Structure 1
């Protein structure tokens, strides 16, 4: 066969063109079936919580009346503890007002301990012994004609002569002192002021509390030893010794009602290093009186 008689070669077709159309349609049908199957599987799976939360939030429906918490009527009586058995922790039920409050032991030197009255704190103070009826009484006779007028307490205050001298009164209303001796911390002191403690129904009890208060002006660890106790006009007087270490002071308090909002207090104390002036204490407690 000559070259001129050879058939002409077929033109090359693309790969897509080499495929038969029925094969293409068959492939597309398979892909479509797979896609439908995949969608069906996804829809059959349960939704996850976060997918549900991502959806729109609907307002909650109102609770039926049977599920609402019961309303408790106000109680008119005292609350009682449950009787289901003993508990191991603290109870929330408050004690009845008639139950006694817990008490703490008073600490010596403090004015009051929680839960104690002023007199109970006094009786619990080891520095202050009970005042018995065996304490003697003094024969008091007013002496002297020189006085200071203490307008704040409503009292007439005896003016002691030399070696006593007037000193700066603050925080008191009047103050007289003896000369301070070399090497000694304490010296004789006589002061007046409005009552610095709580007034009691009994002038005697008020004087006892005042004597306890004066321990604040004596060395630490001081203790009282009673010497005399008796009523005076418009009040009460106490004479006592304050012991501290190897030394002691003679002291006295006089509580008088001078017609002010608070009774007036006179307090005198002289250490044993100036015992030659102890006689002036009798002058103080004998001469104190109210104005008017």
Structure 2
């Protein structure tokens, strides 16, 4: 047996200790990757997130419905008129219903605005209003002078229907030509008897009846440019002018209407008012017959022709008809 060949015998420990050994390879165990987060379920989300999602979805649905209402109903007056009635049927106040509809339709109106509406308005919340309704709903829009006259207890509102000036009693005086008031732009009859021309100030023309013994008030016929603020219509301007004539009647005088009608002053339009003036003199109730013609004068303020005759001179009342039928624009 050769040296180092021990056969199947056990190798002595001291020999095994001295034998060469091969170093073991280093084994590295890789760390496992963290498992992917499983998808969250609705029950795992915080409630505030759920509420936000629901609110956004509801908002989108409302906006879509509002846009559809605006696009479908923008040219359908029957649908627009029926909207307030629908809110009443379901028991909601119409103001609340209109407000909600306006809020819902506002974004859609911003994207495709309906002509004639404010971006903050909707067809349901902005119905058309007639000028008459606007004035009734907004008294501040009325001229202050007219608003004051409508509240004046001395002057009742004009008759709603036209009322023609009737023939007054008495015998009309003769006339001779016309008084041409170029300052006012009108011509009126000049009476030949009974009446006398007088200093016009503060008017543009003036004629007077003679004084009656024991009476401090006498008949007067004058013309001038309208001395009050001009209104939208000849009728309203004439109404204010008639109120102004109370300044030339005894204190405390009041009016009752006898006529209110459109008139022609030559080729120009006008408005005629007839009225009775009531007042008290020396404790006695008295009246005057009066009339006023307001004439539309080109390129000037309207002209006023005003005549008043007290009952102490009632034989001259028919002259009022002569004046009103003879007024002409120059």
**Please, what TM-score do these two structures have when normalized by structure 1?**
0.57
Contact 2:165 2:274 in 1 (8 A): no
1:136 aligns with 2:163: yes
Name the CA distance, whole Å, in 1 between partners of 2:319 and 2:188: 13
Match runs of 1:212-231 below 5 Å: 212-231=243-262
1:251 aligns with 2:286: no
Match of 1:150 in 2: 181
Output the aligned Cα RMSD: 2.1
1:238 aligns with 2:265: no
Structure 1 residues 238, 216: closer, same or farther in 2, change over 3 A? same
1:286 aligns with 2:325: yes
1:119 aligns with 2:133: no
Match of 1:73 in 2: none
Alpha-carbon shift at residue 136 of structure 1 (Å): 2.5
Contact 2:197 2:207 in 1 (8 A): yes
Structure 2, gaps ≥5 residues long: 1-141, 168-173
Structure 1 residues 169, 132: closer, same or farther in 2, change over 3 A? same
Name the CA distance, whole Å, in 1 between partners of 2:162 and 2:251: 25
Match of 1:109 in 2: none
Structure 1 residues 201, 277: closer, same or farther in 2, change over 3 A? same
Structure 1 residues 144, 232: closer, same or farther in 2, change over 3 A? farther
Name the CA distance, whole Å, in 2 between partners of 1:151 and 1:230: 25
User: How many pairs does the alignment contain?
Assistant: 176
Structure 1 residues 195, 162: closer, same or farther in 2, change over 3 A? same
Contact 2:165 2:258 in 1 (8 A): no
| SS at structure 2 position matched to 1:213 | helix
Contact 2:175 2:192 in 1 (8 A): no
Give CA deviations for 1:58-101 in whole Å, capped at 9, x if unaligned: xxxxxxxxxxxxxxxxxxxxxxxxxxxxxxxxxxxxxxxxxxxx
| SS at structure 1 position matched to 2:191 | coil
Name the CA distance, whole Å, in 2 between partners of 1:174 and 1:272: 23
Contact 2:255 2:278 in 1 (8 A): yes
Match runs of 1:14-25 below 5 Å: none
Alpha-carbon shift at residue 156 of structure 1 (Å): 1.0
| SS at structure 2 position matched to 1:146 | strand
| SS at structure 1 position matched to 2:165 | coil
Alpha-carbon shift at residue 227 of structure 1 (Å): 0.1
| SS at structure 2 position matched to 1:204 | helix
Contact 1:152 1:260 in 2 (8 A): no
Name the CA distance, whole Å, in 2 between partners of 1:139 and 1:227: 8
Alpha-carbon shift at residue 263 of structure 1 (Å): 1.1
Structure 1, gaps ≥5 residues long: 1-114
